[in-house]
């Protein structure tokens, strides 16, 4: 039984008890668009290392997100960082009493790479602010801190952060950086109170670092061009190579993950076709005979849950859904207690890293349930709900998501996620084939997704194929996507739509293809290649021509990726020119006759707006059913809630006209 099916079974039991309520909710008007796409009311909850406070990012309508700290003994909440026009971004605890955070600054010009999120520090009581890193060249504390040192805006937090027992964090910043390449990264220890940084000696081309339990740098991953190397520092201080591999090839390589208090090195490596977790003896380079975590169906990329002394308490990773493999008996017992109390959700636990605090942070979520935040007291057994990310969303009004599999035309098994609308019929539905971007990423996992659930709440089935080239499903599945843009990758998507028709789920006359970035590319190619299959398409931030990916100078694709990665993954612009032209939506625009919603951000540098301009101009003469929109203050996708709401309102109207219940055949 799949892990997420355990939660699905529990949810169906609950839904059966509340069947009348579910039917009433399904019959009522769906939640407004704003309920899906406004900033989360509560997000990013993190337990302090001593387990006595919780840091929370909060948001309200028309106000940027701010950072707060909840004292778990008094239940007093204190705002500690807030800005009038910029939301707080990622944050973490430095130690028991101090936090660091970045911002989500708005775009201020056509080059998104120039935007820096900055780095700031503040005590848990709101005192002792300090700006540590520049953000878009702007100081947020001009008066009190004028003249104090600030690191360049490309400086970022590093992983891991060690014992969290002083005021310092590890940061990296690029050296010898250009659009051609990053020469190397500098690793430093940054004092968050005085802003001073001290460099840590590391191999020049390192881009990943592991510290041992004593806080000493012991392992790095370095990279020059396409060649990566894993290095180990012996007791005499010398660095020694453990592994070398090409980052664009499927090889039997190792990836660094963790160093235990006993000096054992934990690595990801191949177990048959899938990636699993092993230990490795640095002295011999040999892996453990058996993996610590593995799956026959999914690659394993665990997050390590450790105590302050480095002891490994558990592993957290995603298969079809997120699970925690506890190695600590006490933590495992708490998980069992929480799962019994919250049977319809996946429950992510955060325990104190040190001390005797009884508090445990619980973040609960499901396919139909946006994230809920609780605290649990192990002494009193009391579970207290703190808040929800999207409080207006009613789970019974959401659609259930299942992992399915179908065979592509060449026999390759394609995983996919199928979400059905809540209540009512489950057959002969209008279908949106939602294609993920990347494309070399894993597209989805079992959780609540605003885009998917928005579509489901409007009565559409949603199919999300994990077409060949997607990661997370083994090396063969990934490598099968090499040089397959517009070819077998595209066929996988179409075969998924036809599978949904054969299952009786989808109405063959009401299928729309949609996606962003690569998903936008696949939408445009799908309309050109399969006019009898797709009634319409929705493409945003879409690649319209592969050759433009090579030639546009203001794209943030590095020259190294264009030289080393793209020829292998997509195709060589000279040797494979005919293949790339055949796989170009721009060069096949005359074949697109279906209705199309085409959207782009004016400051997109991943897929610059020249892709949109060229496609719009090529489409307009022959297709009068093209709706276009450009958001002048957006980059690669929509960050501003108002733009998100506007776009998805357009999507709702577009789908209703073309494949909705009242759409003309």
Please provide the DSSP assignment of 107-136 as one string.
P-SS-GGG----EEEEETTS---EEEE-BT
In a domain, 88, yes or no: yes
Q: How confident is the model at residue 16 (pLDDT cuts 50, 70, 90)?
A: very low
Distance (Å, whole) CA 228 – CA 207? 10
Query: Any residues with CB less than 8 A from the CB of 614 and at least 6 apart, and which?
Result: 544, 545, 548, 586
Residue 414 belongs to domain with CATH number? 3.40.50.1820
For residue 484, the Cα-to-chain-centroid distance in whole angstroms is 24
Give the 3-state secondary structure of residue 295: coil
Last residue of a domain, one of 145, 174, 203: 174
CA dihedral 453, 61, 637, 442 (to 10 degrees): -40
Per-residue confidence (pLDDT) for residue 136, from 0 to 100: 66
pLDDT in tens, 333-359: 999 999 999 999 999 999 999 999 999
Beta carbons of 405 and 416 less than 8 angstroms apart:
yes
Does residue 371 register a pLDDT over 90? Answer: yes
Lowest-confidence range among 74-88, 554-568, 601-615?
Answer: 554-568
Higher per-residue pLDDT: 488 or 151 = 488
pLDDT value at residue 306: 92
**Does 28 score more than 80 pLDDT?**
no
C-alpha distances in angstroms, 255 versus 269, 302, 393? 7, 12, 39
pLDDT of residue 180: 46
User: 32 lies in a domain?
Assistant: no
CB-based contacts of 644, cutoff 8 Å, min separation 6:
37, 638
Would residue 621 count as lying in a domain? yes
The highest-confidence range among 184-193, 336-345, 555-564, by mean pLDDT, is: 336-345
**The pLDDT value given to residue 626:** 95
Q: Is residue 634 part of a domain?
A: yes
- Going by pLDDT thresholds of 50, 70 and 90, the confidence category of residue 215 is confident
Q: Give kind and range of the element (H or E) at residue 64.
A: strand 63-71
Q: For 18-27, 223-232, 385-394, 607-616, which range has the lowest pLDDT when averaged over its residues?
A: 18-27
What integer is the mean pLDDT of 429-452? 96
Band of the pLDDT at 262, cuts 50, 70, 90? Answer: confident
Pairing of strands 63-71, 53-60: antiparallel
Q: Which of 1, 121, 12, 115 is nearest to 366 (CA)?
A: 12
Instruction: State whether residue 455 is helix, strand or coil.
Output: helix
Question: Is residue 2's pLDDT more than 80?
Answer: no
Poorest-confidence range of 178-192, 253-267, 304-318, 534-548? 178-192
What's the rounded mean pLDDT across residues 580-584? Answer: 97
What is the rounded distance in angstroms from the CA atom of residue 34 to the CA atom of residue 65? 16
Q: So what's the pLDDT on residue 108?
A: 55
* Cβ–Cβ < 8 Å for 526, 537: yes
DSSP state of 519: H
Number of other CB atoms surrounding residue 96 within 10 Å: 18
Structure tokens at 499: 């599978």
What is the structure's pLDDT at 297? Answer: 96
pLDDT tens for 271-300 read: 999 999 999 998 888 899 999 999 999 999
Beta-bridge mates of residue 629 = 599
CA gap 337, 381 in Å, rounded: 9
Give residue 162's pLDDT.
Answer: 77
How many helices and strands, by DSSP H and E, does the chain display? 14, 35
d(CA 402, CA 368): 11
Rounded average pLDDT over 310-330: 95
- Looking at 140, 174, 208, which one is the last position of a domain? 174
- Residue 19 — pLDDT band, cuts 50, 70, 90? very low
- 65 has pLDDT over 60: yes
CB 408 within 8 A of CB 492: yes
Q: Does residue 8 belong to any structural domain of this protein?
A: no
Residue 31 maps to a domain: no
pLDDT at 664: 61
Q: Between 517 and 247, whose confidence is greater?
A: 517
Which of the 8 DSSP states describes residue 453?
H
The pLDDT confidence band at residue 20, using thresholds 50, 70 and 90, is very low
- 146 vs 56 pLDDT, higher one: 56
Contacts 24+ apart (CB under 8 A), 193-197: 193/98, 193/121, 193/128, 193/130, 193/167, 195/130, 195/132, 195/148, 195/149, 195/150, 195/151, 196/149, 197/149, 197/151, 197/171
Beta bridge partners of 123: 98
Q: How much is the pLDDT for 436?
A: 97
- At 145 the pLDDT is 52
Mean pLDDT of all residues in 470-490: 97
Single out the residue in 139, 158, 174 at which a domain terminates.
174
The DSSP result for 642-659, as a single string, is HHHHHHHHHHHHHHHHHT
Closest CA to 471 of 135, 237, 140, 247: 247
What average pLDDT does this structure show over 111-121?
70
Q: Give residue 21's pLDDT.
A: 53
> What SS3 state is found at 345?
coil
**Residue pair 60/43 in contact by the 8 Å Cβ criterion:** no
State mean pLDDT over 516-537: 98
Question: Is residue 140 predicted with pLDDT exceeding 60?
Answer: no
Query: pLDDT tens across 390-440, in order?
Result: 999 999 999 999 999 999 999 999 999 999 999 877 899 999 999 999 999
- Name the more confident of 521 and 144: 521
Q: What's the pLDDT at 525?
A: 98
Considering just the CA atoms, what is the radius of gyration of the chain in Å? 25
Give the DSSP per-residue string, 195-257: --EEEPP--TTEEEEEE-TTS-EEEEEEEETTEEEEEEE-TTS-EEEEEEEETTS--S--EEE
Q: How many domains does the chain have?
A: 2
* pLDDT of 528 strictly over 90: yes
Contact, 293 vs 302, CB < 8 A? Answer: yes
Show the domain range for 149: 44-174
Q: Is residue 338 part of a domain?
A: no
- Reported confidence tier of residue 24, pLDDT bands at 50, 70, 90: low
Check whether 554 has a pLDDT greater than 80.
no
DSSP for residue 162:
T
| Residue 378 parent element (H or E) | none
Is the confidence at residue 15, as pLDDT, over 80?
Answer: no
Q: Is residue 336 part of a domain?
A: no
**Mean pLDDT computed over every residue of the chain:** 90
pLDDT class of 329 with cuts at 50, 70, 90: very high
Among 141, 144, 217, smallest CA distance to 186 is for 217
Residue carrying structure tokens 């027992």: 165
Tell me how crowded residue 452 is: count the other CB atoms within 10 A of its CB. Answer: 23
Residue 141 in tokens: 């504390």
């Amino acid at each position: 039984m799949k892990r997420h099916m355990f939660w699905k079974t529990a949810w169906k039991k609950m839904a059966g008890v509340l069947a009348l309520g579910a039917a009433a909710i399904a019959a009522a008007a769906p939640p407004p668009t704003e309920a899906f796409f406004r900033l989360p009311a509560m997000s990013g909850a993190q337990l302090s290392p001593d387990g006595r406070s919780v840091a929370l990012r909060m948001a309200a309508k028309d106000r940027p997100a701010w950072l707060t700290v909840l004292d778990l003994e008094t239940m007093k909440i204190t705002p500690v960082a807030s800005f009038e026009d910029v939301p707080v971004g990622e944050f973490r605890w430095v130690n028991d009493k101090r936090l660091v955070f970045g911002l989500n600054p708005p775009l201020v010009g056509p080059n998104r790479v120039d935007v820096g999120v900055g780095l700031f520090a503040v005590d848990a009581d709101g005192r002792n602010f300090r700006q540590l890193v520049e953000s878009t060249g702007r100081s947020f504390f001009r008066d009190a801190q004028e003249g104090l040192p600030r690191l360049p805006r490309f400086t970022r937090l590093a992983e891991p952060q060690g014992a969290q027992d002083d005021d310092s964090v590890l940061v990296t910043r690029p050296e010898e950086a250009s659009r051609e390449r990053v020469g190397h990264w500098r690793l430093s220890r940054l004092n968050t109170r005085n802003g001073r940084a001290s460099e840590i000696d590391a191999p020049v081309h390192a881009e990943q670092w592991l510290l041992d339990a004593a806080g000493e740098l012991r392992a790095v991953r370095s990279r020059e061009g396409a060649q990566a190397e894993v290095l180990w520092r012996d007791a005499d201080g010398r660095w020694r190579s453990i592994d070398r591999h090409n980052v664009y090839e499927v090889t039997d390589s190792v990836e660094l993950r963790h160093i235990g208090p006993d000096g054992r090195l934990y690595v990801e490596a191949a177990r048959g076709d899938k990636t699993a977790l092993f230990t490795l003896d640095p002295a011999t380079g040999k892996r453990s005979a058996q993996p610590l975590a593995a799956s026959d169906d999914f690659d394993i990329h665990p997050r390590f849950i450790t105590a302050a002394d480095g002891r490994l308490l558990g592993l957290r990773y995603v298969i079809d859904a997120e699970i925690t493999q506890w190695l600590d008996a006490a933590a495992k017992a708490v998980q069992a207690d929480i799962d019994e109390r919250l049977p319809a959700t996946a429950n992510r636990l955060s325990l104190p890293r040190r001390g005797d605090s009884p508090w445990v942070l619980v973040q609960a979520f499901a396919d139909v349930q946006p994230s809920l935040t609780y605290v649990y007291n192990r002494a009193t057994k009391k579970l207290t709900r703190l808040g929800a990310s999207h409080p207006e969303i009613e789970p019974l009004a959401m659609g259930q998501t299942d992992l399915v599999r179908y065979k592509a035309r060449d026999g390759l098994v394609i995983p996919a996620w199928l979400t059905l609308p809540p209540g009512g019929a489950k057959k002969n539905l209008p279908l949106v084939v939602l294609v993920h971007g990347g494309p070399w990423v894993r597209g989805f996992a079992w959780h609540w997704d605003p885009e998917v659930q928005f579509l489901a709440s409007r009565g559409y089935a949603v199919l999300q194929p994990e077409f060949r080239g997607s990661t997370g499903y083994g090396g063969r599945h990934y490598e099968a996507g090499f040089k397959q843009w517009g070819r077998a990758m595209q066929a996988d998507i179409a075969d998924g739509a036809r599978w949904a028709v054969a299952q009786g789920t989808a109405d063959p006359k009401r299928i729309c293809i949609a996606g962003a970035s690569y998903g936008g590319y696949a939408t445009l190619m799908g309309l050109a290649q399969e006019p009898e299959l797709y009634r319409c398409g929705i493409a945003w931030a879409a690649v319209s021509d592969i050759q433009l990916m090579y030639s546009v100078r203001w794209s943030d694709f590095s020259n190294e990726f264009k030289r080393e990665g793209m020829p292998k993954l997509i195709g060589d612009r000279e040797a494979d020119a005919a293949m790339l032209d055949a796989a170009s939506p721009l060069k096949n625009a005359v074949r697109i006759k279906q209705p199309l919603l085409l959207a782009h951000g004016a400051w997109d540098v991943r897929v610059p707006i020249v892709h949109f301009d060229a496609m719009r101009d090529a489409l307009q003469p022959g297709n009068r059913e093209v709706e276009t929109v450009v958001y002048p203050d957006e980059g690669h996708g929509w960050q501003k809630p108002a733009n998100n709401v506007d776009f998805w309102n357009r999507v709702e109207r577009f789908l209703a006209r073309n494949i909705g219940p009242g759409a003309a055949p």
